[in-house]
């Protein structure tokens, strides 16, 4: 569809800000780095883990990458929160207005209705629900990251600085932190590389990948179809034109697509390796 849009050179709807897109790209790089380096330890008993570990230049260098990525991710998280605070001040005034408005990431009653409506649609007992700016699964992905940041980040810090943390906590808490860190990371990678990949990229109408998070742009046609409520609201408010921008030139899109494909390929292969490790090589 993008080539068609480009041919037409029609303006496109801008869904994500430059910062949001940047954060997502950085997050992808960090997340893949963290996952791949971390998995070498978790599945140390497999030959692929040994191979990967050597590819990273040894466990120490893999650990170094892991920590740099983790630190970057923490900075990224802080940047996002700062951005939220700034936007609240600029666009909403109060937290309440921001968190309860139609464009809020917070779950609300409509998300529950949409979830039930969607299940009905799955089994052919109703129409596909009309979604607003954020669907419930997008909100779930978003908060999953929040949760993951807290759980994996805090336990990760404990493993990073065990000598410091055992000044206050018993030694066995490091063992507990190991289990939580490792299993939560498995959950995060597993979820992102399967459910998130399907929900956003592999589902038939987006297959093989949705570039919106990188370009920030989607065709008006797609926008109407995907987020009809948001579209209507913008049309009614007469603000749609404000959000329409020129599409990226072909070369930029191609670079973005290469990046996206790489990320998808890494993620998908990691799922395959994990399944192999857990099902066939488990010790």
Does 279 interact with another protein (rule: CB under 8 A)?
no
Q: Using the minimum distance from each CB to another protein, give the nearer residue, 99 or 190.
A: 190
Q: How far is the CB of 90 from another protein (least distance, A)?
A: 35
Does 3 interact with another protein (rule: CB under 8 A)?
yes
Q: Using the minimum distance from each CB to another protein, give the nearer residue, 119 or 261.
A: 119
Does 178 interact with another protein (rule: CB under 8 A)?
yes
Does 57 interact with another protein (rule: CB under 8 A)?
no
CA distance 63 to 171: 21
Does 251 interact with another protein (rule: CB under 8 A)?
no
- Residue from 1, 71, 106, 255 that binds another protein (CB under 8 A)? 1
Q: How far is the CB of 178 from another protein (least distance, A)?
A: 7
Residue pair 9/247 in contact by the 8 Å Cβ criterion: yes
Tell me the site size for another protein, rule CB under 8 A: 54
Does 254 interact with another protein (rule: CB under 8 A)?
no
Q: What is the DSSP string of 22-55?
A: HHHHHHHHHHHHHHHHHHHHHTTTSHHHHHHHHH
Q: How far is the CB of 181 from another protein (least distance, A)?
A: 10
Does 29 interact with another protein (rule: CB under 8 A)?
no
Task: Report helix, strand or coil for 123.
Answer: coil
Measured over the CA atoms of residue 72, residue 77, residue 83 and residue 89, the dihedral's sign is negative
Strands, sheet with 12-14, edge to edge from the N-terminal-most edge strand? 217-218, 12-14, 244-245
Interior/surface letters 72-88, b for 16+ CB within 10 angstroms, e for the rest: bbeebbeebeeeeeeeb
CA distance 39 to 49: 7
Per-residue x/- marks for another protein, 191-230, CB under 8 A?
x--xx--xx---xxx-xx----------------------
Per-residue x/- marks for another protein, 117-156, CB under 8 A?
-xx-xxxx---x--------x-------------------
Interface region with another protein, contact rule CB under 8 A, candidates 17-25, 29-37, 116-124, 243-251: 116-124
41, 168, 230, 259 from 194: Cα distances, Å: 21, 38, 27, 18
Of 34, 39, 35, 36, the closest CA to residue 68 belongs to 34
CA distance 220 to 10: 9
CA distance 230 to 212: 16
Q: Using the minimum distance from each CB to another protein, give the nearer residue, 23 or 177.
A: 177
By CB under 8 A, name the binding residues for another protein: 1, 3-4, 40-42, 44-45, 49-50, 53-54, 58-60, 118-119, 121-124, 128, 137, 159, 162-163, 166-167, 169-172, 174-176, 178-180, 183-184, 186-187, 190-191, 194-195, 198-199, 203-205, 207-208, 283
């Amino acid at each position: 569809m993008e080539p068609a849009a480009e041919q037409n050179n029609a303006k496109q709807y801008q869904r994500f800000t430059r910062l949001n897109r940047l954060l997502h790209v950085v997050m992808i790089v960090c997340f893949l780095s963290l996952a791949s380096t971390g998995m070498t330890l978790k599945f140390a008993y497999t030959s692929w883990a040994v191979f990967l570990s050597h590819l990273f230049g040894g466990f120490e260098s893999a650990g170094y990458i892991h920590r740099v990525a983790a630190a970057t991710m923490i900075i990224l998280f802080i940047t996002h929160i700062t951005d939220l605070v700034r936007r609240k001040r600029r666009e909403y005034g109060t937290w309440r207005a921001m968190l309860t408005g139609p464009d809020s990431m917070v779950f609300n009653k409509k998300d529950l209705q949409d979830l039930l409506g969607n299940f009905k649609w799955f089994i052919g007992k109703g129409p596909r629900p009309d979604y607003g700016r954020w669907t419930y699964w997008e909100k779930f992905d978003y908060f999953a990251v929040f949760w993951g940041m807290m759980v994996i980040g805090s336990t990760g810090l404990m493993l990073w600085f065990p000598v410091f943390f055992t000044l206050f906590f018993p030694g066995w808490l490091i063992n507990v932190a190991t289990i939580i860190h490792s299993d939560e990371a498995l959950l995060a990678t597993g979820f992102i590389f399967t459910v998130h990949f399907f929900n956003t990229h592999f589902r038939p109408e987006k297959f093989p990948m949705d570039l919106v998070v990188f370009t920030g742009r989607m065709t008006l046609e797609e926008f109407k179809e995907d987020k009809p409520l948001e579209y209507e609201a913008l049309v009614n408010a007469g603000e749609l034109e404000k959000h329409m921008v020129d599409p990226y030139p072909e070369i930029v899109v191609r670079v973005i697509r290469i990046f996206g494909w790489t990320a998808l390929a890494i993620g998908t292969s990691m799922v395959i390796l994990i399944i192999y490790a857990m099902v066939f090589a488990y010790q």
